[in-house]
A and B are shown apart, each in its own frame.
Chain A
Amino acid sequence: MKDFIKKCPVFLTLAGSGLLLSLIGISGSFSVYKEYEFHVAGRPYLALVMEGISKGTMPWEAVETIGMGEEEFPGGLLYKWRNGNGGQEIGVLPGKEGAESFVEGSAGDDGVFVLENEGIPKAGGSPDDQGAENLGELNGQGLAGNSGEPGVQDEAGVQSTPGVQDAGGNSGESNAQGPVGSQDGAKPESVEDSRTYSFQTVGEDYFDDAVFIGDSRTVGLFEYGGIEDRADFFAKISLTIYDIFTTPVAKDEETGEKITVEEGLMQKKYGKVYLMLGINELGTGTTDTFIAEYENVVARIRELQPDAVIYVQGIMKVTGKKDAEDEIFNNTNIEDKNQAIAGLADNRDIFYIDVNEVVCDQEGGLNAEYTIDEVHLKAKYYEIWKQFLLEHGIVK
């Protein structure tokens, strides 16, 4: 044996560790890896262990579930053998697990979230609702924690908005210190409240007090839109409506620390807040759960930036080719969410704009000429988006 170890140590190490990983995979397949796929022909048990690690489930968690129970190993084998294929069908748990991992993913680090997407709809039961509930809770806490301050700001906000428009300037900075009191009394609030605005073309200085929040598309606008010196950007690849307030997206200019969208919005007063989120969420939850969360986010932004015009942007579509091929990232799903997003607009201080009007072809998909990967604009076409934004200014 000693001789053998000397002759082929790598072979023995790999065979031994492979066997160990397979055993962990088999035992975990009754519990922590229950949702993962195993194929006799192509996907060995040890792949479950790897998949688990990539989603934050460590191998020792599988070891913990060794025992004679139904969700344990080798007990699960016994149950499976007794009930035929029954082990898989005991219905309640898969749903619950799905929801759990869903929350972990959304709160945790960025890699996890999107990979989870495909798994969840299949997870059996109806995990979506539960997932959303959990998320709602998460966010609810955030709201509750800060409820004191924003309340005050809110009042001020209602008053200050009308004050400025009469002053005529379209530079939002004056918004901040808006000389509010005197004029406000003159106009009844109810009239102001119901006043709606329509879009007009504005100059680039419109962006001077704007902030853009979004995923990789908005990152692209930051890098290639040519307005990065005017506007602030809180954008990050794979940012979602669910982790928008928990993921660090920008650097604090003074301290250099990474800050979240929430912290960023607390530090400075903005005249316009542009939101484009939703493509990463396509595989997660339903449109209802999505829009409920979107509404929370908008409400929170409203609290933090009471005077700002909030633009909720429709999600940019994908090309017709991608649309046809992809079960999740397709235009039907995007249109569905966009319709819901559009419903949030009140045309008073929340406006819906849809860049698809200018970047799509006749069939309604993202113009194939504008993109290489079917999803993102090529650098030089971000200009189209910018021009579109300039044509949709709101001057109060």
Chain B
Amino acid sequence: MVIFSGLEFIFRFFPAFLAVYYITPKKYREWALLFGSIVFYAVGEPYYVLLLLVAVWLNYFFAKKIYSCRDTRRGRKCRKDRVVAALVMDIGLLAAFKLLGAFLGNAIFPLGLSFFLFKMISFQIDTYRGEMIQKPGFRQTVVYFVMFPQIVSGPIMRFSEGGFWEEEREYSWEKLEEGLQYFAAGLGTKVLLADRLAILWKDIHMIGYESISTPLAWLGAAGYSMELYFDFWGYSLMASGICVMLGYPFIENFRHPYASRSVSEFWRRWHMTLGSFFRDYVYIPLGGSREDMTVTLRNLLAVWLLTGLWHGGSLNFILWGLSLFFLIAIEKLALGKLFGKFPFFGRLFVLLVIPVTWVIFAVTDLRELGMYLGRLFPFDGGGIAVNPRDIIKYLGMYWYYLLAGVIWCIPGVPRFLKKHRKHPAVVLLTAFVFWISVYCVVSMENNPFAYLKF
């Protein structure tokens, strides 16, 4: 039920929740969202829901304490002590579960923990920094932490972005419509593109990395880059679409990243809420890029190591973070100016190196990773039982998904549709995409990777 593209969510939980939500008088709607979210999370994690509730309560408690000493005599010191205590708790909890996950397998990791703890951390720091213009109420705080559209995989909204301080939340049919369109777009992006391209990646894995031709290795890297993007972007669109339908603001998490002109820009446009989290709570507090280059590089290194660790505990994620640090560092030191003058080279650079970084991200086994990289860059020949014609087969099987994917990566296309979203043709297209997606979900439900056919 916790998967937005599942039948249970689309046709059971969400319509029922939406009906209850809008029947509830405006005054109590936050309560409806609060209880609905706890039910949602409890279905996904019947035991860890207790952990969530404890974490929510403790964080609210700490934040209240931090807030309350803002007017006392030794306010600054007092706030600092308390925020440190809160952060030790949150970061400790996250680190503990990351470690447990690394040793005992990911099944032990609570659903959405990385995301809701990051919300809590940002909440504590914002309170400490005095960015709360008024004392956050219990209800709003809890809703902010647990709201179901964001609890599983973000976006990591800031408290100040959620419109919790407004006198009255604005609800309208127009917002409902707008949110539904975002949801349908996200559903299509995930189901029709990401889930199809995922099969290509599985196919390549099945062949064995040592046996793929170099063109197929690049096709796989490109396909995986799109899969990952459409999966997460699609998810984020669905999540933010739901928020809009409930009267909350749209939180942007992706801004057509593959159209970037440098790797640094790519990461300002990819998973934006995570990037800005690290910028605001790690990079800038460390001094950002205000001091000399060595300090800047140190700060970048810290950010990218943490980003790598946040994504996963295994060594390849650290390598992945380091590779991004390395790329961004050389852009800062040298390439950046070139890309500024000749954006074409910057775009090309992004399109060539980002897929390679995603391969490092995707292949958790280092030996396998080495093999894949060896096929991407076959300097020493290599490869066992390579079929040089494999590329023709897989292009033949996947070209339409890849082509559709490339088109969907071009910023103008979604922008055009968004601009004309009230046009009858776009309305029909949205409904069509929605039902085709549902059709795909149904026909794949026993057969997630079309794998029962041998």
Residues of A within 8 A of B (CB): 4, 7-11, 13-14, 17-18, 41-44, 46-47, 50-51, 53-54, 110, 114-115, 117-118, 215-217, 223-224, 226, 237-238, 279-280, 329, 371-373, 375-376, 378-383
Q: Which 3 A-B pairs have the closest CB atoms?
A: A379-B211, A378-B208, A54-B443
Contact of A376 among B8, B177, B206 (CB under 8 A): B206
Residues of B with C-beta under 8 A to A9: 177, 422, 424, 427
Contact B431 A10 (CB under 8 A): yes
Shortest CB-to-CB span from B242 to chain A, Å, is 14
Contact A379 B385 (CB under 8 A): yes
Query: Knowing that A10-B177, A41-B8, A379-B384 are A-B contacts, what are 11 other residue pairs whose CB atoms are under 8 Å apart, sorted by A's residue number?
Result: A7-B174, A10-B184, A10-B430, A11-B180, A41-B12, A54-B439, A223-B390, A224-B211, A237-B453, A371-B206, A373-B205
Residues of B with C-beta under 8 A to A280: 453-454
Let me know if B342 is at the binding interface, CB within 8 A: no
Q: A238 vs B451: C-alpha distance in the bound complex, in angstroms? A: 10
- A11/B176 contact (C-beta < 8 A), A54-B439, A118-B446 known: yes
Let me know if B435 is at the binding interface, CB within 8 A: yes
Let me know if B387 is at the binding interface, CB within 8 A: yes
Contact A14 B434 (CB under 8 A): yes
Scoring B176, B180, B208, B427 by chain A CB atoms within 10 A of each residue's CB, the highest score goes to B208
- A115/B184 contact (C-beta < 8 A), A43-B7, A223-B387, A372-B205 known: no
Scoring B184, B390, B431, B453 by chain A CB atoms within 10 A of each residue's CB, the highest score goes to B453
Contact B11 A379 (CB under 8 A): no
Contact B177 A115 (CB under 8 A): no
Residues of A with C-beta under 8 A to B24: none
Contact of B453 among A46, A114, A381 (CB under 8 A): A114
Residues of A with C-beta under 8 A to B174: 7-8
Contact B439 A50 (CB under 8 A): yes
Complex A-B: 22 CB contacts under 8 Å = A9-B422, A10-B181, A10-B430, A17-B435, A42-B12, A44-B12, A47-B438, A54-B442, A110-B453, A115-B446, A115-B452, A118-B446, A215-B454, A223-B387, A224-B211, A238-B453, A372-B205, A379-B210, A379-B212, A380-B211, A380-B384, A381-B208
Residues of A with C-beta under 8 A to B386: 379
Closest to B172 in A: A7
Residues of A with C-beta under 8 A to B210: 379-380
Q: A79 vs B39: C-alpha distance in the bound complex, in angstroms? A: 37
Residues of B with C-beta under 8 A to A51: 442-443
Let me know if B404 is at the binding interface, CB within 8 A: no
Residues of A with C-beta under 8 A to B8: 41-42
Residues of A with C-beta under 8 A to B7: 42-44, 47
| Chain A-chain B contacts (Cβ-Cβ < 8 Å), number | 124
Residues of A with C-beta under 8 A to B430: 10, 13
Q: A350 vs B212: C-alpha distance in the bound complex, in angstroms? A: 36
Residues of A with C-beta under 8 A to B205: 372-373
Residues of B with C-beta under 8 A to A237: 453-454
The B interface is mostly helix, strand or loop, or mixed, namely helix
Contact B443 A50 (CB under 8 A): yes
Residues of A with C-beta under 8 A to B206: 371-373, 376, 378
Contact of B208 among A226, A375, A380 (CB under 8 A): A380
Q: A371 vs B173: C-alpha distance in the bound complex, in angstroms? A: 53
Shortest CB-to-CB span from A116 to chain B, Å, is 10
Residues of A with C-beta under 8 A to B208: 372, 378-381
Q: A378 vs B207: C-alpha distance in the bound complex, in angstroms? A: 5
Let me know if B68 is at the binding interface, CB within 8 A: no
- A376/B431 contact (C-beta < 8 A), A4-B173, A8-B173, A115-B447 known: no
Contact of A10 among B1, B389, B427, B452 (CB under 8 A): B427
Residues of B with C-beta under 8 A to A47: 7, 11, 438, 442
Interface residues on B, range: 35 or more
Q: List B residues 414-454 near A (Cβ within 8 Å).
A: 422, 424, 427-428, 430-431, 434-435, 438-439, 442-443, 446-447, 451-454
Contact A14 B202 (CB under 8 A): no
Contact A373 B451 (CB under 8 A): yes
- A13/B439 contact (C-beta < 8 A), A7-B174, A41-B12, A224-B385 known: no
Residues of B with C-beta under 8 A to A373: 202, 205-206, 451
- A14/B211 contact (C-beta < 8 A), A8-B174, A50-B438, A216-B454 known: no
Shortest CB-to-CB span from B149 to chain A, Å, is 18
Contact B443 A375 (CB under 8 A): no
Contact A8 B12 (CB under 8 A): no
Shortest CB-to-CB span from A62 to chain B, Å, is 15
- A44/B11 contact (C-beta < 8 A), A8-B177, A114-B453, A115-B446 known: yes
Residues of B with C-beta under 8 A to A379: 207-208, 210-212, 384-387
Residues of A with C-beta under 8 A to B454: 215-217, 237-238, 279-280, 375-376
Q: A353 vs B428: C-alpha distance in the bound complex, in angstroms? A: 57
Q: A238 vs B453: C-alpha distance in the bound complex, in angstroms? A: 5
Residues of B with C-beta under 8 A to A372: 205-206, 208
Q: A378 vs B211: C-alpha distance in the bound complex, in angstroms? A: 8
Shortest CB-to-CB span from A281 to chain B, Å, is 10
Q: List B residues 84-111 near A (Cβ within 8 Å).
A: none
Closest to B43 in A: A41
Residues of B with C-beta under 8 A to A7: 173-174, 177
Contact B453 A13 (CB under 8 A): no
Q: List B residues 11-47 near A (Cβ within 8 Å).
A: 11-12
Chain B 149-193, CB within 8 Å of chain A: the 1/0 string? Answer: 000000000000000000000000110110011001000000000
Residues of A with C-beta under 8 A to B211: 224, 378-380
Q: A279 vs B453: C-alpha distance in the bound complex, in angstroms? A: 9
Q: A371 vs B447: C-alpha distance in the bound complex, in angstroms? A: 19
Shortest CB-to-CB span from B31 to chain A, Å, is 24
Closest to A376 in B: B206
Q: A13 vs B434: C-alpha distance in the bound complex, in angstroms? A: 11
Closest to A370 in B: B208
Residues of B with C-beta under 8 A to A14: 180, 184, 431, 434
Shortest CB-to-CB span from B346 to chain A, Å, is 37
Residues of A with C-beta under 8 A to B389: 223
Scoring A51, A280, A372 by chain B CB atoms within 10 A of each residue's CB, the highest score goes to A372
Residues of B with C-beta under 8 A to A118: 446
Closest to B184 in A: A10
Q: A117 vs B454: C-alpha distance in the bound complex, in angstroms? A: 13
Shortest CB-to-CB span from B276 to chain A, Å, is 31
Q: A41 vs B11: C-alpha distance in the bound complex, in angstroms? A: 9
Q: A378 vs B368: C-alpha distance in the bound complex, in angstroms? A: 13
Shortest CB-to-CB span from A9 to chain B, Å, is 5
Residues of A with C-beta under 8 A to B434: 14
Q: A237 vs B7: C-alpha distance in the bound complex, in angstroms? A: 29
Residues of A with C-beta under 8 A to B439: 50, 53-54
Q: A211 vs B24: C-alpha distance in the bound complex, in angstroms? A: 70
Residues of A with C-beta under 8 A to B181: 10
Contact A216 B442 (CB under 8 A): no
Chain B 384-425, CB within 8 Å of chain A: the 1/0 string? Answer: 111101100100000000000000000000000000001010
Contact B177 A383 (CB under 8 A): no
Shortest CB-to-CB span from B433 to chain A, Å, is 10
Shortest CB-to-CB span from B419 to chain A, Å, is 15
